Amino acid sequence: MTETPRVHGNTDPRFDSVRDALAEQLASGEELGAAIAVDIDGEVVVDIWGGHRDAARTLPWERDTIVNVWSTTKEITALAVLVLVERGLVDLHAPVATYWPEFAQNGKADIEVRHIMAHTSGVSGWDQPFTVPDMYDWDSSVEHLARQAPWWEPGTASGYHAQNQGHLLGEIVRRVTGTHLKRFVADEIARPLGADLQIGAGPEDDDRIAEIIPPPPLDLDLSTISPDSPMVKTFTGPAASASAANTVEWRRADLGALNGHTNARALARTLSVISRGGTVDGVTLLSDKTIDQIFDEQARGIDLVLGVPLRWGIGFGLPEPATLPYLPDERICFWGGWGGSMTIMFPLQKMTVSYVMNKMAPGIIGSERSAAYANAIFASLGT
C-alpha cells in the first residue's frame, strides 16, 4: 500500500495554502519530491518539503535533501560575478578579454562581461563536436570557447547560454581570483552565509542527493530549423542529457550553468542577498548600486535559442508577461532550471521565493507546478 505523501516543515499560517498546494501535487503524482521556501526580510515564512528523493519511492525527501537544480545554478554564478563587481575586480562593461585575453580570438575582442551575463554574447554553446562529458574538462572546454567565433552579432539579441554560461563566467572568476568557480562559491558565498549550497557535490553528500527523473522529450523538431541557427547549435552543442545529473562525474564537475546542488531553503537564504539590499544577517556581499545593475535591461524580444519572448537584465531574467504571466511585472528578478525549479527575488518587498524538485516537468522555463506554487504564495500575500 502506497504511503500518503506528507508535507514536512513550517509555514506561517498566512501561507497554509502553499503547503496545501505542495500536498496536492505530491498526492497527484505530478510531484515526486520537492521543497519550497519563502524568506521575507529574514523571516522564513515557508520552509516545507515532502515526497521522495528516488524514483522507487523508498527514500523520503528530508530536511537536508539536496538536488541538482539545473539552470537555477546560473543565479548563483551571476551572484559570484556580482560579488567581484562589488569588490571592484570586474567591470561589467569591460571586454571579457580584459580578464581572459585568449577570449578575444575569432571576432570576440569587443564582447563585454555584461553580454555573457545577459546571454547576448553570441557564444551560447560549443561548436561541435562536443559532448556532455567534454564539459567536465575545464581547461579544454574553456579553450574551446575561446577559439570559436560568435554565432550572431554580440549585444544585438539574447540567445540563451544554456550549458556554457558557467564556463564563460567561471573562467572570468578564475582569471580574476585564481580560484575555480565552485571553490569561490563555497568560500565567498555559501560559507559566509551558512547556506547548504554548492556547485557540483562532494562524495560526502552523495547519500542525500535526490535522484533526477528526466522530463518527457522536448516538443522541438530541430530538423525543421536551419542547422546554422543559434537554437540548433546550442541544443546540439552539446545535446543535453537529464540522466547525466545522476552520475558521479556530473556531480564532481564545475558546471556553473547546470549542476548546483542545494535545496529551497539555502537558495532563498543565498539569493535574499539581492532582495534584502545586499546584507544577510550581518554578511554584506553587495551594495544597492551593484544590485541596481541587475535591473539594467540588456535585451527584450524573442530569444534566439529558446524561441520565446524574454527580457534580460544583468545576470537574471526580468518579468516578461508574454512568457511567464504569473510573475508580477514589477521590480523583480529571477531565473529557473530545466524541469521547473525557480528562485525569484522581490527587492521592494524584501522577499525571496524558491522551489526545487527532482521530477522534471516538460519545458525549460518554469512549469505548471512552479506557477501553482507562485500563485499560492502571491494569494497568501494578498497580491
Cβ proximity of 280 and 42 under 8 Å: yes
Interatomic CA distance for residues 265 and 78, integer angstroms: 19
Do 7 and 48 contact (CB within 8 A), yes or no? Answer: yes
Neighbours of 13 (CB within 10 A): 7
| pLDDT for 131 beyond 70 | yes
Question: Mean pLDDT across the stretch 87-107?
Answer: 98
Asked if pLDDT for residue 217 goes beyond 90, the answer is: no
Q: What is the pLDDT of residue 223?
A: 76
Please give the average per-residue pLDDT across 127-139, as a whole number.
98
The arithmetic mean of pLDDT across residues 135-142, rounded, is 98
Kindly report, residue by residue over 305-348, the tens digit of the pLDDT: 999 999 999 999 999 999 999 999 999 999 999 999 999 999 99
Q: Per the structure block, which three cell numbers stand in for 82?
A: 556580482
The pTM (predicted TM-score) of the whole model is 0.97
Element (H, E) at 351: strand 351-357
All structural domains of the chain:
7-381 (3.40.710.10)
- Residue 66: pLDDT above 70? yes
Helix-strand-coil percent breakdown of the chain, rounded to 5?
40, 20, 45
C-alpha cell at 22: 505542495
Q: Where are the alpha helices (DSSP H) in 236-341?
A: 248-252, 264-275, 288-294
Whole-number pLDDT of residue 5: 75
Interatomic CA distance for residues 97 and 100, integer angstroms: 4
Q: With contact defined as beta carbons under 8 Å apart, do 111 and 96 qualify?
A: yes
Could you tell me if 37 and 354 are in contact, meaning their C-beta atoms sit under 8 angstroms apart?
A: yes
Q: Which residue type occupies 216?
A: P
Residue 189 is given by DSSP the state I
